[in-house]
A and B are shown apart, each in its own frame.
Chain A
Amino acid sequence: MATVRLSFSPAPVHVRTARLVGVAVARRAGVAEELLDEVRLAIGEACTRAVALHRQYGLSDLVTVEMSDWDSYTVRVIDHAPIEASVGLAKLPPDELADESLTDEALTTGVGFALLAGFVDDLQVRPVDDGTGTEVRMVWPVHRR
């Protein structure tokens, strides 16, 4: 089993780095080539969400992305924002997406969650085991060569 752990300051510029690393590790772990675009998007969305929460709460704590391959490729994106912040994860119905009263933040959060739920079959959002924060856990199958 191999684990790669990346921690970064909650700045948008680093989300791309997390995506690049996440896809590189996925490829090496044996995730099917046709799933890599979805892996890239899902890791990006989970990290974007974590960065947004840290900025919203003025937290300078690092966001952590942990990738491991055992009998599957598992990515955990861990933030340290208050747990009630996760309640905002809800898929928006189409007729509300272009609603004038919907804020940009609410729209992006709803769309981000729709992408995570749509692209990741095995997705869990749960409180971290120790301290404050949320873990977004995503799992993809691997094919050993």
Chain B
Amino acid sequence: MELSLATRTVAEHTVLEVGGEVDVYTAPRLRERLVELVDNGARNVVVDLGRVDFLDSTGLGVLVGALKRLRAAGGTFGLVCAKEPLLKIFRITALDQVFPIYPSVEAATSATSDERDGSGPAA
């Protein structure tokens, strides 16, 4: 299945909904979109992986790149993922210790708002 990308705003967060396969062929498009979002001023970004059915190391590299860019810009970055096969990928690579991962968009936006406001624990 081809990569699909859609952006919406939820509670002052830019939510990028990703669907399909994120691999060595499609990951450059995801990278371009994330760079574009940050360049256009997005500072609180949530990437929703709910409709992703394949994710490889290239896709993971793009997500780490976005995390670094947002950290450098003083922003926040979170992932939404509840699918066990994808969560296993994050665990095996130890990236579950790098990314804040939430079960829903609502959980991600409220947690990163707390983090930004300093009123809650950093994820």
Residues of A at the B interface (CB closer than 8 Å) are: 12-13, 15-16, 19, 37, 40-41, 44-45, 48, 51-52, 92-94, 97-98, 100, 104, 107-109, 111-112, 114-115, 118-119
Which 3 A-B pairs give the minimum distances between C-beta atoms? A118-B92, A112-B57, A94-B94
Instruction: Given A108-B58, A115-B57, verify A94-B97 contact (CB < 8 Å).
Output: yes
Per-position 1/0 for B88-109, Cβ under 8 A of A: 0100111101100000000000
* A118–B93 CB distance below 8 A: yes
A44, A107, A115, A118: the one contacting B64 at CB < 8 Å is A107
* A48–B97 CB distance below 8 A: no
* B98–A111 CB distance below 8 A: no
A48, A92, A114, A118: the one contacting B58 at CB < 8 Å is A48
* Given A114-B93, A115-B57, 15 more pairs with CB closer than 8 A: A15-B25, A44-B54, A45-B57, A48-B23, A94-B94, A97-B97, A98-B67, A98-B68, A100-B68, A100-B72, A111-B57, A111-B60, A111-B61, A111-B95, A118-B92
In the complex, chain A residues whose CB is within 8 Å of the CB of B85: 37
A143–B45 Cα distance when bound, in Å, is 45
In the complex, chain A residues whose CB is within 8 Å of the CB of B25: 12-13, 15-16
Interface size on B, residues (CB 8 A): 24
Q: How far is the CB of A34 from chain B (nearest CB, A)?
A: 10
* A108–B98 CB distance below 8 A: no
A12–B3 Cα distance when bound, in Å, is 14
B56, B65, B97, B98: the one contacting A115 at CB < 8 Å is B56
A98–B68 Cα distance when bound, in Å, is 7
In the complex, chain B residues whose CB is within 8 Å of the CB of A52: 24
Closest to B57 in A: A112
Can you sample 14 A-B contacts with CB below 8 Å? A12-B25, A15-B24, A41-B56, A48-B24, A93-B94, A97-B93, A97-B97, A98-B98, A108-B57, A108-B61, A111-B93, A111-B95, A114-B94, A119-B92
